[in-house]
Structure 1
């Protein structure tokens, strides 16, 4: 499963704006720090504002910040919404001649569900603070 760029950038933006800041973040600052075009970020930010994951303010001193409720959202839910109705295998366009005798789509659909279930074990707040000690402990236990 590969995340599309929209999802990738959206997750990065959520993590970026979750960091404490005295003033709202601006798209220009985010674009510069994440090395992504402002035009692309505008579309993503607009989408996330409609989802109420972020709060945007226009005008002087405006910008965006994370809606605190978003920290408790499951990662699987966030990724499902961002990815949209993404099928790993499309059997209908163009029509696949193997459809009648193929079990691959069912297996891949099941794998996709397991992917999302795995992500649902974590919330956005779980990916924000990964202490160095976790990686050191994991390394020592190998």
Structure 2
């Protein structure tokens, strides 16, 4: 399974927040630290905030922080949230895609079970397990 850049950015941001749970980070600071687009990261942060995974506060002393303890947020929960709009294969899309093999495809069920197993494995780990702090020079 391949994750989107959107999910990659979200996981990185959450892992960083988990590494310093008592501190707030500016989106621009995280984007600089990871060498990624601040604009794209802001979209990811908006999705995480609307799902209640992060808390945002504007102004001085504001920033981004985890809304729940890192040991209460599973990687599977995060991936499900951030990949919600991405079907593993075309026939998994809500429209059914344009697959000419349906309804006789013998692959779809196997892929569905693999996706379930993938997410179940991610449910076994939390952000606390993957908390990240940058190395100091």
TM-score by length of 1: 0.80
2:97 pairs with one of 81, 93, 115: 93
Matched, 1:39 2:39: yes
> How does 1:1-142 map onto structure 2 within 5 Å?
1-20=1-20, 23-91=23-91, 92-94=96-98, 96-128=99-131
What secondary structure does 2:60 align onto?
A: coil
CA distance in structure 2 between the partners assigned to 1:21 and 1:85 by the alignment? 29
**What RMSD over aligned residues (CA atoms) do the two structures have, in Å?**
1.9
Cα pair distance change 1:79/1:41, threshold 3 Å: same
What secondary structure does 1:12 align onto?
A: helix
CA distance in structure 1 between the partners assigned to 2:21 and 2:100 by the alignment? 55
Which whole-Å deviations, capped at 9, do the CAs of 1:65-94 have from their partners, x for residues lacking one?
122334312211221111105322223322
Q: Which structure would you say has the larger Rg?
A: 1
Q: CA deviation at 1:23?
A: 4.9
Q: CA deviation at 1:109?
A: 0.7
CA distance in structure 2 between the partners assigned to 1:22 and 1:84 by the alignment? 29
Name the structure with the higher helix share: 1
Structure 2 unmatched runs, 5+: 133-137
The count of residues paired between Structure 1 and Structure 2 equals 128
Structure 1 unmatched runs, 5+: 130-142
Which whole-Å deviations, capped at 9, do the CAs of 1:9-29 have from their partners, x for residues lacking one?
000000112222775211111
- Of structures 1 and 2, the one with the larger relative CO (CA 8 A, separation 6+) is 2
CA distance in structure 2 between the partners assigned to 1:21 and 1:87 by the alignment? 32
